[in-house]
Amino acid sequence: MRAFTLTEALIAFFILSLLAGGIFMVTNIAILSWNSNRAMLEVVQEVRQAMDGMTREIRQSNSPPGSESPEFEFSIPDVTNKIKYYCDNDKKQLIREHPPGTKRVLANNISFLNFTPTASVLKIQIRATKTIRNVPHYFSLTEEVKLRNG
């Protein structure tokens, strides 16, 4: 049995590296997109969960804010202190404060939070922005809640 010539080996190596390079590129793109999708999915889930909790609580609130506002403080039946929702702009966090001083982070990566009252209906808008490898990704969620005690 004769061994490969140098030329044969070089050609084989070249083809192999082409193939490997192609596969790597495709796989890399897939992995990157998988990772960014997963990161974004986590953001989406967090925002949805926060929105769900907020609407369930705000639904029981007594009165909407006087005008459009980035924060909302309200009372609900059988709960002594007021509950407050706002966005910590430095940490980009959606915060629930109750009782005063006790803070709970509901969601991260929050870039915008707004409460718009219309009679006894309150529109809540949340936007999350996450930068993944220098590319900003956005997720916006809007819900309208009828204030049952309003």
Nearer to other proteins by C-beta: 96 or 130?
96
3-class DSSP state of 105: strand
Residues 6+ apart with CB under 8 A from 69: 114, 115
Task: State the Cα–Cα distance between residues 50 and 126, nearest whole angstrom.
Answer: 10
Euclidean distance between the first and the last CA atom of the chain, given in angstroms as a whole number: 91
Tell whether residue 56 is a contact of other proteins (CB under 8 A): yes
Among 40, 59, 65, 69, binds other proteins (CB under 8 A): 59
Span from 11-19, 76-84, 85-93, 123-131 in contact with other proteins (CB under 8 A): 76-84
Smallest separation, CB 77 to other proteins (Å): 5
Considering only residues 8, 52, 68, 144, which one is a binding residue for other proteins as defined by CB under 8 A? Answer: 52
**112, 115, 102, 110: which is closest to 71 by C-alpha?**
115
Phi and psi, residue 84, nearest 5°: -130, 135
**Comparison of 3 and 135: residue with beta carbon closer to other proteins:** 3
- Using CB under 8 A, which residues numbered 23 to 42 contact other proteins? none
Contact residues toward other proteins (CB under 8 A) are 52-53, 56-57, 59-60, 76-79, 96, 98, 102, 104, 148-149
